[in-house]
Amino acid sequence: MTDWDVIVIGAGPAGSLAARANSLRGLKVLLVDRATFPRRKVCGCCLNRHALSVLESADLGALSARLGAVPLNRVQLGAGGRCATVRLPGGVALSREAFDVALIEEAVNAGATFQSGTRVQMDETADGAEGVSLSGGLRARAVIVADGLNGRARAEATVVTAGSRIGAGAILADAPDSYESGTIHMATGRGGYVGLVRLEDGRLDVAAAFDGSFVQMHGLPGAASMVLQSSGLPPLPGLSDADWKGTPPLTRGPVRVAGPRWFAIGDAAGYIEPFTGEGMAWAMASALAVAPLVERCVQHGPGGLAAEWVAVHRKCVGERQWTCRALAWSLKRPGLCRVAVRGLRLIPGLAHPVVRSLNRPLASLPGVR
C-alpha cells in the first residue's frame, strides 16, 4: 500500500501546476519543495502569450491579472551602442515571489498537500509493481520530478551542453525611469546578455546569461555593467550593491525524461536559454501534458508510459525550442546582434516571424483537459 498516489518534487510553476492538475483528477497528491516560500528566483518573471494560454487551458487565465501583473507590449534591444524597439504584445511581468505562491495555493485548493523545506530523493532501484520508494519513508504510485536545473531528486538528471552560459539575477528597488514599465529591455554584448523588466511593485528585475570566463574576469555586477555599457542601454547605478544570485550552466539535456512510474517536467527535463517567457511556458505546458499519463500510471500501472511521455514531451516542448536555439546562437555573436539591431531600426517588421513563434498559443494535446 502506497502513502500517496502522486508525489511531485519541486513547487515551481511546473510542479505546482502538475500537482493541481492531478488533484483535480481525484488523485491523492503530495507536493514538496526544499525551499520555503515566498522565494526569489533568478529569472522567469516574464509570461508571454504562450505561457498565458497555458494558464487559460488550466482555467487560471485570470490569475496574473489578480496578482497585478504588468502588461508587456515591446522589447528594446541594445547592441553596439544602438537600440531598436520591437512590438511584442500579449505578455506580462510578474514576480516569482507572487506567482509561485499563488500556484501553490491553487494546488492546495484543488486538494494537494504541500510541504516546504522538505528534501526527498527517489530510490530508483526500488521501482516496483505497486509504486516508487523515496527518502523519508515515502511511497507513491507515480512521481513527477520538477526540481529544476540542478535538482537532486534523481541520481541521473541532466547533462550540460558544451558552451552553456550561466544565469545570474538581481532585483533593484530603485532604477532610472528610462527603464519604463511594459518593456523588456535586453542588452547584448561580448560575454553575455542582460534582460531587465519592471515588476508589479515597481522593482526592476535584472536577469542575465554570461560566459563563465566573463564572470570569472569581471564578477556578476561587473559583467552586467559592461554589457549594459557596450549595448547602448542606460547605466544602472547600484548593480554592485545588489544581492546577486547565480545558476548552474543553463543549457542542458536530460539523460532520461521518464522511467518506471516517474516523469520529469519543466527544467528537470532539460533547458535551453529561453526568451520573453518561453521557459515558463514550456514548464507549465509539460505540467498539463503529463497529468493524463500520471493518472493512467496510478490506475493501471506504468506499462509503456515512459516511452509515451518521451513522445508527448517532444511535441509540447521540444518542437517549440528551435526558435530559442536560434536566438541563443545569435546572442553569442555580438557582430550579428549589431547587424540585427541596425536592421530592426530600419525595418521593425523583420522581427515579426520570431514574435509570432514566441507568442504561438499552446497546441491541443491528447488527454489535456
Model confidence pLDDT, tens digit, residues 136-166: 889 999 999 999 877 888 877 677 888 889 9
Q: 114 in a domain, yes or no?
A: yes
Domains in the chain, number: 1
Only one residue has cell 526527498, namely 120
**Residue 364 scores a pLDDT above 60:** no
pLDDT value of position 318:
72
Alpha carbon of 164 to those of 216, 271, 325, 337, 338: distances in Å? 15, 10, 12, 18, 22
Going by pLDDT thresholds of 50, 70 and 90, the confidence category of residue 366 is: very low
Cell output for 111: 486538494
> What CATH number corresponds to the domain at position 119?
3.50.50.60
* Residue percentage of the chain with pLDDT more than 90: 61
Q: 117 in a domain, yes or no?
A: yes
The whole-model pTM stands at 0.92
Q: 307 in a domain, yes or no?
A: yes
How many CB atoms sit inside 10 A of residue 353's CB?
Answer: 10
Q: 241 in a domain, yes or no?
A: no
β-partners of residue 207 are 169, 195
Q: 190 in a domain, yes or no?
A: no
**Residue 200 scores a pLDDT above 60:** yes
Q: 124 in a domain, yes or no?
A: yes
pLDDT value of position 319:
67
Range of the domain at 324: 4-72+93-161+251-329
Q: What is the mean pLDDT of residues 164-184?
A: 93
Work out the angle at residue 27's Cα, subtended by the Cα atoms of residues 23 and 33, and round it to the nearest 5 degrees.
60
**Residue 205 scores a pLDDT above 70:** yes
Burial code of 68-81, b = ≥16 C-beta within 10 A, e = fewer? Answer: ebbebebbbbbbbe
Q: 292 in a domain, yes or no?
A: yes
Q: What is the mean pLDDT of residues 31-54?
A: 91
Going by pLDDT thresholds of 50, 70 and 90, the confidence category of residue 367 is: very low
Cell output for 160: 550540460
For residue 57, the surrounding DSSP H or E stretch is helix 49-57
For residue 188, the surrounding DSSP H or E stretch is strand 183-189
**Residue 365 scores a pLDDT above 60:** no
Q: Which of 214, 178, 180 is nearest to 198 (CA)?
A: 180
**Residue 168 scores a pLDDT above 80:** yes
pLDDT value of position 260:
87
Q: What is the mean pLDDT of residues 153-180?
A: 86
Cell output for 65: 491579472
* Residue percentage of the chain with pLDDT more than 70: 92
Q: 353 in a domain, yes or no?
A: no
